[in-house]
Amino acid sequence: MSNWKNSVDPAVDYLLPLAKKAGIETTWDRYEAMQPQCGFGELGVCCRICWKGPCRIDPFGNGPQRGVCGADAHTIVARNLIRMMAAGAAAHSDHGRHIALTLLEVGEGHAPAYRIKDEQKLRNIAEKLNLAPAGKDLRQVAKEVALASLEDYSRQKRSIPCNWAKATLTAERVDKLIELGVMPHNIDAVIAEIMHRTHVGCDADAVNLLLGGIKGALADYTGMCLSTELSDALFGTPEPVVTQANLGVLKEDAVNIAVHGHNPLLSEIICDVALKMNEEARKAGAKEGINVVGICCTGNEVMMRRGIPLATNYLSQELAIITGALDAMVVDVQCIMPALTSVAECFHTEIITTMAENKITGATHIEFREDSAVESAQKIVELAIEAFKKRDKRKVNIPDYKQTAIAGFSAEAIMAVLSKIDAKDPLKPLIDNIVNGNIQGIALFAGCNNPRAIQDNNFITIAKELAKNNVLMLATGCGAGTFAKTGLMTQEATEAYAGESLKAVLTAIGKAAGLNGPLPLVLHMGSCVDNSRAVSVAVAIANKLGVDLDKLPLVASAPEFMSEKAVAIGTWAVALGIPTHIGIVPQIMGSSVVVEFLTEKAKDLLGGYFIVETNPEQAAAKLVAAIKERRKGLGI
Ligand code: XCC
Ligand code: SF4
């Protein structure tokens, strides 16, 4: 792979040769060693669902066309795909359950480490869920909201939709999803149903399987949505905050602790505890005390709520250790490379797992429980300080790369900014500018990195192209990480890359909001679960215009996706009516039925559809075309 560039991140470029020299393997080495990857797997035509298999379908038509049980390529591809959606939904909604249970504890007065930081948000949620919060005591409201959320995991009546899905989408969309039989009634039941219908000898109709998958993806949406909103009630609704991103945020003279994973329940407490333990760190010789930094979506969570700097995004997580300056990496759930402990063996870094269901061999496990969150956090910080004492100064190589990033554009924050222009009707300036074409449309960037693409390159290339075409951009997850690391979440980026009319609008709004210049080119909306924030903005616009989501000039892109969660997110975006680009060829190409359904038929059924395009320039062109088509449909 000598001509292949691994990443456009300069910090990665700086550290990879050092890793190579030291004989430390990274994800890119393992990716290279894995070539060529299995062609059957790439097409999705390998089935391991029962032990009569594994079975694989010959894509050229010469060998077997059916598995031992008789399943054809379409059934096999569809089953594999919707199991991924179920896993994605399980991940997001288990995270959501954890937050909802904590909120319940707060309501019942059992979780002293937590409190309701944003009372107004909690009351707004209660309104949305029709819980009539007026006059009720805050703890009572917390309890009722938690129970209404947990109902979405336990309701048995199939005819009653999930509270959160119903309360957060347009009425027209809710009706459509119910009519198609894809509206979830119970997140857990829908996930179980996917596992059931894909068991050997069950659903063998590819389209019916895909509809089951779409229901699972909408269960994923439900879990993400409640996860985001309840986290805001507990930890505060994000507001714009200026911070920094990339590995240069690590400090030579500090105890560096990275929080990595997804769930803010522990990382929030670690941030609180770290503030109180600076003196201990200084006593151990760290002149600058404790420096907490983030990785992946835990990083996004604490970045947007607290301005904690973001060290890096998914694909370069190992490199945080290779700087030699990271004293502890605290991980919770999802997207944590099992390789971390092997890399850490070459350094003094403590890898600390915290969740009973997520351990890594070779890591130190400090179990996190809501009722003893502060004690766990203290132990973790103490361990980091101990590790710092063992740091080998000769191995420290902190890349001198970091960029300013403005994070924290929750839907509420966007409304607050817009209300500076029109307090009575905050959406009006945005909608007026969409209608008059100053803003051509809105694009949401989501998803991961994948070594199948040059790290961050697809995100950056597409964003610059869309900016030129006056598209307003939002980002979450590791996509947000990319933009933060590369300086595209700054006012300067707006000056440099936005098309004239977009620049004028962002400047007018930014100035009205007292920012002394434009809004950043890409608005940071948060972590993966926070994709639901983009939906709430879109739903507000759709309701105001009196149209459904599939009429809006709104597109989504996951140009470097890899996780099952991203498969679920992409699918619900399509189900909500959004043209959704993916920049990695999905493992479905072995079935013409599945491909055709997701890229074409879905459009008639749901309004949304997948666009598969690995070339970022062409992807941008296709996204712009999708936006133009929508504008035409609206007659604007
Ligand atoms: Fe994971 Fe959320 Fe993907 Fe990043 S973007 S690699 S899922 S951390 Ni959601
Ligand atoms: Fe083979 Fe059918 Fe078993 Fe899959 S379910 S492994 S196709 S026999």
pLDDT digits (tens, 9 = 90+) for 542-569: 999 999 999 999 999 999 999 999 999 9
Mutate to test the pocket of ligand 1, among 332, 458, 563 (most ligand atoms within 8 A of CB): 563
The answer to whether residue 97 is domain-embedded is yes
Measured CA to CA, the distance from residue 513 to residue 363 in angstroms comes to: 46
Co-location of 427 and 371 in the same domain: no
Instruction: Spell out the alpha helix ranges (H) of 449-559.
Output: 457-468, 477-485, 491-497, 500-512, 531-545
Q: Find the mean pLDDT for residues 281-287.
A: 98
Strands, E, within 66-213: which ranges?
A: none
Tokens 């359904």 correspond to 597
If we measure between CA atoms, which residue out of 218, 170, 209 comes closest to residue 570?
Answer: 218
Is there a single domain that holds both residue 420 and residue 566? yes
Q: Is 409 found in the same domain as 498?
A: yes
69 is in an annotated binding site: yes
DSSP state of 195: H
> In which region does residue 476 sit, left (phi positive, over 0), alpha (psi from -120 to 50) or beta (all else)?
beta
pLDDT at 421 over 50: yes
- The answer on 507 and 431 residing in a single domain is yes
The 3-state DSSP class for residue 467 equals helix
Give dist(CA 55, CA 58) in Å, integer: 10
pLDDT of residue 296: 98
Burial class of residue 301, CB neighbours in 10 A (0-12, 13-18, 19+)? buried
Measure 297 CA to ligand 1 centroid, in angstroms. 6
Annotation-wise, does 225 bind a ligand?
Answer: no
DSSP character for 236?
Answer: -
Instruction: Find tokens 């817009």 and name the residue.
Output: 418
Structure tokens at 362: 């070779």
Contact 532, 224 (CB under 8 A): yes
Assess whether 161 and 208 both reside in one domain.
Answer: yes
CATH code for the domain of 214: 1.20.1270.30
Residue at token pair 């001509």 = 3
How remote is the CA of residue 291 from the centroid of ligand 1, in Å? Answer: 23
113 neighbors 590 (Cβ within 8 angstroms): no
- Over residues 207-231, the pLDDT tens digits come to 999 999 999 999 999 999 999 999 9
Contact (CB, 8 A) for 557 and 614: no
Same-domain pairing of 374 and 488: no
Over residues 165-179, the mean pLDDT reads 98
- Residue 580 tokens, joined: 């959704």
Half-sphere exposure of 206 (CA within 13 A, CB side): 22
Do residue 305 and residue 448 come from a single domain?
Answer: no
- Token pair of 77, please? 């591809």
Phi, psi of 285 (to 5 degrees): 105, 0
Q: Name the token pair of 275.
A: 């503030």
Asked if residue 74 belongs to a known ligand binding site, the reply is no
Q: Is the CB of 336 under 6 A from ligand 1?
A: no
Atom of ligand 1 nearest to the CA of 449: 6
Residue whose Cα lies nearest atom 8 of ligand 1: it is 296
Model confidence pLDDT, tens digit, residues 384-405? 999 999 999 999 999 999 999 9
Task: Say how many Å lie between the CA of residue 590 and the centre of ligand 2.
Answer: 16
Quote the ligand 2 centre to 610 CA distance (angstroms). 28
- The CATH number for 462's domain is 3.40.50.2030
Percent of the chain with pLDDT over 90: 98
- The average pLDDT across 106-113 equals 95
Sign of the Cα torsion 543, 544, 545, 546 reads: positive
Decide if pLDDT at 4 tops 80: no
Q: Is 47 annotated as a binding residue?
A: yes
pLDDT of residue 3 exceeding 90, the answer is: no
Q: At what angle do helices 264-276 and 206-235 cross, to 10 degrees?
A: 30
Question: Separation of 540 CA from ligand 1 center, angstroms?
Answer: 26
Contact 472, 439 (CB under 8 A): yes
Residue 589 backbone phi and psi in degrees, to 5 = -70, -10
Q: What mean pLDDT, rounded, does the chain reach?
A: 97
Pair (454, 374) in one structural domain: no
Same domain, residue pair 257 and 223: no
Residues 257 and 135 in one domain: no
Domain assignment of residue 158, given as a range:
73-235
* Dihedral sign, Cα of residue 292, residue 92, residue 489, residue 481: positive
Which of 58, 68, 80 is the pocket-test mutation for ligand 2 (most atoms within 8 Å of CB)?
Answer: 68
Ramachandran angles phi, psi of 289, nearest 5° = 75, -140
- What is the predicted pLDDT for the residue at 1? 41
**CA distances to 120, 123, 432, 506, 537 from 422, in Å:** 22, 24, 12, 15, 16
Residues 472 and 576 in one domain: yes
The answer to whether position 165 is within a domain reads: yes
Q: Domain ends where: 332, 365, 395?
A: 395
User: Residue 493 is encoded by which pair of tokens?
Assistant: 């980026």
pLDDT (mean) for 355-370:
96
Q: Whose CA is nearest to atom 1 of ligand 1?
A: 335
Q: Is 335 labelled a binding residue?
A: yes
Residue 447 sits in the same domain as residue 496:
yes
**Which of 395, 428, 452 is the C-terminal boundary of a domain?**
395
Helix (H) or strand (E) holding 26: none
Q: What pLDDT score was predicted for residue 2?
A: 43
Question: Percent of the chain scored above 70 by pLDDT?
Answer: 99
Token pair listed for 130: 């029709």
Q: Specify if 2 maps to a domain.
A: no
Say if CB 561 and CB 586 are below 8 A apart.
no
Residue 27 located in a structural domain: no
Q: Which value does ipTM take for this structure?
A: 0.96
563 lines ligand 1 (CB under 6 A): yes
In a domain, 284, yes or no: yes
With CA atoms as reference, report the closest residue to 45 among 62, 27, 66, 29.
66
Query: How many domains does the structure of the chain reveal?
Result: 3
Residues with CB under 6 A from ligand 2: 47-50, 52-55, 67-69, 71, 76, 200
Select from 168, 202, 235 the last residue of a domain.
Answer: 235
Residue 498 counted as domain residue: yes
Q: Is residue 474 part of a domain?
A: yes
Q: Does residue 506 sit within a domain?
A: yes
Span from the CA of 44 to the centroid of ligand 2 (angstroms): 13
